[in-house]
Chains A and B, each alone.
Chain A
Amino acid sequence: MSTMAVTQAEADPRRFLRALASQEALLAIAVIFLAVAVGLYNPRFLATRNLSDVLLGNAYIAVAAVGMSMVIVSGNIDISVGSLIGVLATLSGTLAVNGVPIIVAWLAPLVAGILVMALQGIIIAYLRIPAIVVTLGMLSILKGGLISVTGGKWITDLPDGFHLADTELFGTVPMPVFLMIVATILAAIWMRYSAPGRAIYAVGGNAEAARLCGISQPRTVVMVFALHGLFAGIAALLYATQLRVIQSTVPPNLELTIITAAVVGGVSILGGVGTVIGSTLAAILIAEIASALVFIDVSPYWIRAVQGVLILVTVIADILRRRRMAGA
């Protein structure tokens, strides 16, 4: 019985090719290719102003997709996140206009996000109710509750210091983009190199094997949802502070865009596989496509259909890949 030397695997040239074929690399190539292609057709697309607007306006989706990726990798799903972001943004704005210190108005959505999501995680993990049902219920509660409480009134006259999204770091990097990058990198490192991060993949990949290895599935799921709540809170903060008004309603189909970003980013809908680098790149790609449609004179309403095609193509590719693996 021969054994290959495994310590020299790093030198394997196929490793480079395989890395290039990863979902993350494909997405990065797609982001650049699309920018060049649309730029050739309409150079205005490449104007700094447009590209930074695309990033600024969608950073919150990428941040929320980081949490969503963790949830899906753990073998769950959350469709309440769009509604939660709407509620948390309204909460933050309401606190701000009522004279609460700005820092409290900024931190409140983070704390509330963690609490709401942790509660859902507890119901899912300990009462063993499917995540889709629990989060569907929460979606209705949040959506219905928000419109009933606020009556759909817009929040205006937000205090000056509130607009976090306006601030720039080192005079160049806008805060939302900075937060998106930091959240993605920290989450990526944590998921790849920490023991609890590894537990998420184990629970999502094979819950029974994880349990026999002494990894607590319920604890892992609650942890994942709490973290997802934190990222939803940051996303809500970015969303609330990017405009002069807060609409007090739930952004339509937001959860679908977030789930699409995670799935197109390479997170397997069956759990156990995926990275947040992929989901952030996918969020950027989707935003880029939406903007590109305008520049190539296609109705921006097509973005939903494009998202649909992206999600189907990725999921089908994922399933086929898994079948091939199962057959091997």
Chain B
Amino acid sequence: MTMASDQAPHDTTAPPILSVRGIEKSFPGVRALTGVSFDVAKGEVHALLGENGAGKSTLIKIVSGVFPPDRGEVIVDGRPVSLTRPDDARRAGIATIYQELLLFPELTVAENIFMGHAPRKGFGRLDWRAMRDKTRALLASLEIHDLQADRVVGSLSVGNRQRVEILRALSQDARILIMDEPTAALTEYDVTRLFDIVRKLKARGVAVIYISHKLDEIFAIADRVTVLRDGAHVATRRVAETDASTLVQSMVGRKIESLFPKITVPIGAPVLEVRDLERRPLTKKVSLTVRAGEIVGLAGLVGSGRSELAQTIFGVTPAEGGEIRIAGAQVAIASPAQARALGIAYVPEDRGTQGLVRAMTVRENFSLAALGKVALGGFIDRTAERKLAGDGVKRFAVKTSSLEQVAGKLSGGNQQKIVLGKWLANQPRLLILDEPTRGIDVGAKAEIHRLMGELASQGLAILMISSELPEVLGMSDRVLVMREGRIVAEFSREAATQEAVGAAMMGSHNAEQAA
């Protein structure tokens, strides 16, 4: 770490339009923000940068009034404001444009812009003419000529919908505009137009808080950048005075704790070989190999296509092109049932919606993926099922009062162990783990890492998706990096450093060279 976590001075003499002071926020089991402070000046584009889970979303939700902070204050124009509801933020002149746009697709551009604050005539009647005129004036002020006030929003492109949201914010006299990864779904042309609009807003004195993973965008549009890591403020820098590698380093520069006892095991023959796998839009010509006893880490940002790749291999969204080989034999996988029969196990990212049947008991969850093994002639052999579940509980050290405990009542870590254990009842050859330790406590995490090592030593091939770099670096024999649906880099265990992998994830050439 090369940077001190002090505030870089901003050269405007005016006081900041928005000041965030010592914000703390905890959720059950997680400290999301631990005392974050930063300022935004009038007419400034201020970028927020950080890994997944660094606390950016929590921070903007607090500033947008979605939920209040536990401690700390938000100051607008020198006055502390209490933001407990989104409406409070709106009154304070703060508007937020989320990644998923919040528009009414059946209504027109003008109706969307003025939803909730439409111009009125006497007796509460809507003043349609004024609404349309104001919409045209707003469009003209940003020199948008290809958008008509009467168009139905559902028929617009993503870029135009985003413009409608921006206009909506302006129609409410927003002076602070928060944009959460605004370019995630945009085409290159739309990105250019968005930047034009952002520059016009800047010229009008609107402050923009710009959240993005894309470093080149930050260098193109932002004045200052604030880096968050693990819920803490790491640094605020003027963009002109920093470079990509410094930023990446401050984003990922986390101490690797010795939580992950990586066991070295002999690596065997390829279990999974994927060549030029295609499944649009997020799996593009992907090739990779995982060998017996090997743990391959798949790093990348959210939205880089890692989970989609896993689901394509597992047959949830079958491949459209390319080939998959299991233990050397070419296979076609059209459904999870086929993948399972081939010895592939998949522990999904979201165990709540994808992995666990909460209303079922521990016993029933354990046997769910292996019903064929414990059912004879269609009927389940209770003794075999209880043994299977009992073995799983013992092996995975699941803390449960009995096998008949309803799974939904267990802690997150124990639920994750069941989801993992359920698949191993099938004795797979290849295990795909998607964020295996997200949202579980440190003890359970270490337990799962220990199990992964043990499984690999038994010859299982493991493909692990993780957004936590220390986990990827600590557990993997090899690290693959995905970005925008492609595998963009591969590192051996020795070559995989936080900076190198982080730079590949962010797609910063500058940083790649530096690392």
A interface list, Cβ under 8 A from B: 1-4, 6-7, 9, 12, 15, 193-196, 198-199, 201-202, 205-206, 208-216, 268, 272-273, 325-326, 328
Contacts and interface: CB of A to CB of B under 8 A. Distances in A.
Given A196-B378, A214-B337, A208 B443 contact: no
29 contacts: A2-B397, A3-B393, A3-B397, A4-B400, A4-B402, A6-B403, A9-B402, A12-B402, A195-B371, A195-B372, A198-B364, A198-B368, A201-B360, A201-B364, A202-B357, A205-B358, A205-B359, A206-B354, A209-B353, A209-B355, A209-B356, A212-B314, A213-B422, A214-B337, A215-B368, A216-B337, A272-B359, A273-B359, A325-B408
A193 B379 contact: yes
Q: Max chain B CB contacts within 10 Å: which of A4, A198, A199, A209?
A: A209
The 7 closest A-B pairs by CB, nearest first: A9-B402, A214-B337, A205-B357, A195-B375, A213-B369, A272-B359, A206-B357
Q: Max chain B CB contacts within 10 Å: which of A193, A196, A326?
A: A193
B155 to A, nearest CB: 25
Contact of B335 (A1, A194, A206, A214): A214
Q: Max chain B CB contacts within 10 Å: which of A2, A3, A268?
A: A3
A212 B311 CA distance: 10
Contacts of B378: 194-196
Contacts of A12: 402
Given A3-B397, A213-B340, A214-B337, 5 more contacts: A7-B386, A7-B390, A196-B378, A212-B348, A272-B359
B134 to A, nearest CB: 40
B346 interface: yes
Interface string B377-413: 0111010001000100110011111111010110000
A212 to B, nearest CB: 5
B221 interface: no
Given A213-B369, A214-B336, A9 B357 contact: no
Contact of A212 (B346, B359, B394): B346
Given A193-B379, A328-B409, A206 B336 contact: no
B371 A9 contact: no
Contacts of B447: 1
Contacts of A15: 404
A213 B375 contact: no
B316 interface: yes
Given A206-B356, A326-B408, A211 B316 contact: yes
A292 B346 CA distance: 55
Interface string B426-446: 000000000000000001000
Nearest to A268: B359
Contact of A193 (B382, B399, B422): B382
A6 B355 contact: no
A209 B368 contact: yes
Contacts of A9: 401-404
A212 B316 contact: yes
A12 B355 CA distance: 29
Contact of A194 (B354, B379, B397, B400): B379
Contacts of B399: 1-4
A36 to B, nearest CB: 32
Q: Max chain B CB contacts within 10 Å: which of A194, A216, A268?
A: A194
B422 to A, nearest CB: 8
Contacts of A211: 316, 336
Nearest to A12: B402
Nearest to B396: A3
B55 to A, nearest CB: 24
Contacts of B380: 193-195, 198
Contacts of B348: 212
A208 B390 contact: no
A12 B382 CA distance: 19
A202 B368 contact: yes
A6 B408 CA distance: 18
B353 A206 contact: yes
Nearest to B381: A193
A206 B398 contact: no
B68 to A, nearest CB: 21
A15 B408 CA distance: 18
Contacts of B336: 211-214
A216 B393 CA distance: 27
B257 to A, nearest CB: 19
Contacts of B335: 214, 216
Given A193-B382, A268-B359, A213 B354 contact: no
B89 to A, nearest CB: 28
Nearest to B341: A214
A193 B358 CA distance: 19
A315 to B, nearest CB: 15
B390 to A, nearest CB: 6
Contacts of A6: 390, 393, 400, 402-403
B435 to A, nearest CB: 15
Contacts of A199: 371
A208 B358 contact: no
Contacts of A208: 353-354
B308 to A, nearest CB: 15
Nearest to B375: A195
A194 B379 CA distance: 4
Contact of A272 (B360, B367, B403, B422): B360
A213 B375 CA distance: 15
Nearest to A2: B399
Contacts of B371: 195, 198-199, 213, 215
B483 to A, nearest CB: 26
A112 to B, nearest CB: 26
Nearest to B340: A214
A238 B194 CA distance: 70
Contacts of A328: 408-409
A4 B337 contact: no
Contacts of A194: 375, 378-380
B394 A1 contact: no
A117 to B, nearest CB: 21
Contacts of A201: 357, 359-360, 364
Contacts of A205: 357-360
Q: Max chain A CB contacts within 10 Å: which of B360, B364, B447?
A: B360
B434 to A, nearest CB: 11
Contacts of B443: 1
Nearest to A212: B336
B402 A209 contact: no
Q: Max chain A CB contacts within 10 Å: which of B368, B372, B382?
A: B368
B289 to A, nearest CB: 24
Given A268-B359, A273-B359, A195 B393 contact: no
Nearest to B339: A214
Contacts of B314: 212
A11 to B, nearest CB: 10
A202 B355 CA distance: 11
B350 to A, nearest CB: 9
Contacts of B316: 211-212
B354 A212 contact: yes
A135 to B, nearest CB: 24
